[in-house]
Structures are given as structure tokens and as C-alpha cells.
Amino acid sequence: MAKTRKDLRGRALRKGEMQRSSDKRYSYCYTDPLGRRKYIYANDLVTLREKEAELTKNQLDGLDIYIAGKATVNFVFDRYMKLKANLRQTTRSNYLYMYDRFVRNTFGNKKIADIRFSDVLQFYNCLLQQQEMQINTLESIHTLLRPTFQLAVRDGIIRNNPTDGVLAEVKKNSDQHSGIRHALTVAQQRAFMEHVANHPVYFHWWPLFTILLGTGCRIGEALGLRWEDIDCENRMIHINHSLVYYPVGESRTSVQHISKPKTKAGERTIPMLDSVQDAFEMLREEQLENGWNDVEIDGMHGFIFCNRFGNVPNPQSVNRAIKRIVSDYNATEEISAKREHREAILLPDFSAHHLRHTFCTRLCEQETNLKVIQSVMGHKDIKTTMDVYAEATEEKKQESFERLAATWNVF
């Protein structure tokens, strides 16, 4: 049986502990993740064991592995997410979903200290080519990996961020465009709305699409509208919250929640067009006849939109409906165009957010005050407004010069 070691006061010492006879100080010997023998010291046994407990905690947390540069990308990403204390729950859920789906089980298992620029470039190219990922989805992944590596740089774990410049290199060598959304043309917009209004199955979507195309609301803002947010007397719509639908918990089951706007710019009032007011009146009459929506979400009730199951619709169901309507319209339009010997007006694939972009484009075609457009759209950055304005007025520029050529007789 091994003899128990004791200090000079007769107290039993644990494995790795010792007391030096020269200066009576205590020490604890341990092995770090790189296999090197290390020591911690204290003037008394109580303090030494407090340091041992802190060391054990750090080892359990993986901090010593992190400091040694042996941590994986997954470890650093999880550490980064824990430090983002003020992150909105919807954003956090989206971040985790994207990372878990595309990074965690592959690239995320690599040791962060071993990763170089070429490794990140190869991973991005693999996502684009083998998984046929769109460039805008890759941009979302990059917004997660870059700050993850930057945290390791700031902590002194690695010297340089290997993600720097990778996305620019990928875009330079890729023929994909960066996920730019284009508005529907006036002809496409009219064709879409007429098809919805006159269709025996899809006509019930007309009020929602009218409100989206007539206000520029984000889909979550529109679906989250309550009757108390509508001021029919002053013809104003008050936007102060949004309906979000995201997975929570380990089961990743999606649940509806109410979310406040990310910025103050998101809280705004939008003037009500005649067609939008008509859409609200149709919905009010429908609820008067069939009963009011009694769904409660995060303490809010009185929602305007209601599906056939008595619930507030979620954005995914709206986008699925748009896809079905576009497919139905294009099939019908191709047949009609051949019969009438004309060019078919076909609709592109688009989502509910394209309807917001379409409204903004129509507004830019009529309004020159960028601050007014920014206020109505709820853009935090005027650059976002200017980008849409520049695209919307490009065609108008050509029309202006054609009018100028017809009237400017000075040559």
C-alpha cells in the first residue's frame, strides 16, 4: 500500500501536490494539452487547492485546450455565440441552424490553429460546387466563420484570420451573382395580381398580396399586424413589431413569436393606399362573418391574418403559395399566348420579400426624396435605399433622354 504524503503540518497531500522544505511553499504539478509539465504555486494549501479547482474548471470548459491552439472551429464558434449576449433570439436560431447544417459536422471539426486561407477557400468552393449552394447562402456562412476566427485572433490563439479575402476570391472566380433581388416589372406585377384575384382557388390570397405590394412591409411585419395597428380614420399603418417563426430547443421545432424591430428605423408609420384599405376592409368583413382571430402570441392578440386552421400564417406558407401561383399562372399564360399569337408574360421565381422590393421600386419611380423612401421602407442605412433607387431609375433615365431628344431642338 502506497504511503500517504503529508505536508509539514501533517495534512495529507493529493496526487501532484507537494510542499518544498526550503521555503515552505506549496506546488501542484500537472500536464498541459501539449504534454508539457507545468506547475502552479501558493503560500498555503488552501490557496493552492483554490487554484487547482480553477484549473480543473478551465480544463472542463476546454479553455486550456483553446489556449494551446488545439480547439476545433466548433469549440470557438460555440464560445463566440455564448459571448453574443444581446443577440436576438431569431438571429441566434438562424445562426445555429446555418452552422449546424453546413459547418459543424465537417469543417467545424478541424483544429482552428491548423486552418489556412487555402483550407477555407477549398471549403467554400466545395459548398458552391458539390452542394450547389447559392453565393448569398455562402455569404451567410462567411458572416459566422469570420467573427469566429477573429475571436481566436483577438485571444492570441492564432495570428491571422484565414477567412480574410476568401469570399472576394470566391466571387471573383464564380459566375454566380451575389443574390441580388430584382423587382417584378409593372406588367408582371399586374399579371400576378390579376391571376390571384380571378382564380377560384387562390383568390383568398389577394388581400395579403395587395397589402405587401401596397406597403412594402416585410412579410413578418405584415403577418404580425393587428387591428389596433390600423388607423383607418387617418389612413395610417403602424409598424412596431414583427411575427417571426423559428426553431427552438434541441428538437428544433419551429414556434411563432413576436419580435421587436432590430433598429428604430423599423418602427414607422406607412400611409394607406386605397387598394390597401380595400384589402383591410375585405379581411374585416370576413372576420365579422366567420369570427375574430383569437390566437394569442407572446401576449398579443387581435391579428388580422388567419389561415383555414385558425392560426396566423407563417412566412414559409406564404412563399409556398407564391410558388404554386406562379407555376399555375405560367402554365396558363403559355397556352394563352400561343393561342393568341403573342409573347407570353411569364413570372420569375420569387418570394414574399420580392414583393417588398417591388413596392420600393415603384415608390422610387415616383418619389425622388430618398429620406421619404427610407422612412417608409424602414431602412436603417440610406445606402440600401440608394441601391434600390439607382436600379429603379436606370430605365427612367433612358425614358428621360428620349423625351429630351424629342423636345430639345438646339443642334
Q: Quick check: 297 and 256 in contact, CB under 8 A?
A: yes
Inform me whether the pLDDT recorded for 5 exceeds 70: yes
What are φ and ψ of residue 347, in 5° steps?
-95, 140
**CATH T-level assignment (fold) for domain 186-393:** hpI Integrase; Chain A (1.10.443)
The stretch 171-177 carries a mean pLDDT of: 70
Tell me the average pLDDT across 166-187.
78
- Given a contact cutoff of 8 angstroms between Cβ atoms, the answer to whether 38 and 32 are in contact is yes
DSSP at 62:
T
- Residue 54 vs residue 407, higher pLDDT: 54
Question: What is the rounded CA–CA span in Å between residue 280 and residue 66?
Answer: 56
Q: What is the pLDDT of residues 8-43, one digit of tens each?
A: 888 999 988 999 988 999 999 988 755 678 899 999
Q: Is the pTM of this model over 0.85?
A: no
CATH number at 73-173: 1.10.150.130
- Widest pairwise Cα distance in the chain: 113
Q: How confident is the model at residue 4 (pLDDT cuts 50, 70, 90)?
A: confident
Tell me which amino acid residue 206 is.
W
Q: Match 438646339 to its residue by C-alpha cell.
A: 410
pLDDT at 74: 93
Q: Where are the domains of the chain?
A: 25-61, 73-173, 186-393
Residue showing cell 407572446: 298
pLDDT at 410 over 80: no
State the DSSP code for 12.
B
Strand partners, 37: 31
- In the three-class reduction of DSSP (H, G, I as helix; E, B as strand; rest coil), residue 178 is classed as coil
Return the sign of the alpha-carbon dihedral for residues 313, 318, 319, 325: positive
Report whether pLDDT(393) > 90.
no
Which residue has 491548423 as its cell numbers? Answer: 114
Return the C-alpha torsion angle 39, 41, 47, 49, nearest 10: 20
At residue 230, the 3 state secondary structure works out as: strand
- Interval 152-161: pLDDT, tens: 999 888 889 9
Q: pLDDT tens across 260-299, in order?
A: 887 788 899 999 999 999 999 999 999 998 888 899 999 9
pLDDT the model gives residue 122: 95
Which residue bears the cell 440608394? Answer: 386
Query: What is the mean pLDDT of the segment spanning 353-370?
Result: 92
Cβ-count burial of 118 within 10 angstroms (0-12 exposed, 13-18 middle, 19+ buried)? exposed
Indicate whether 317 pLDDT > 60: yes
The sign of the dihedral angle between the CA atoms of 122, 126, 127, 129 is positive
pLDDT at residue 67, as a whole number:
67
The pLDDT value given to residue 305: 95
Instruction: Return the half-sphere exposure (C-beta side, CA atoms, 13 A cut-off) of residue 161.
Output: 18
Helix residue spans in 84-177 (DSSP H): 89-102, 117-129, 135-154, 166-173
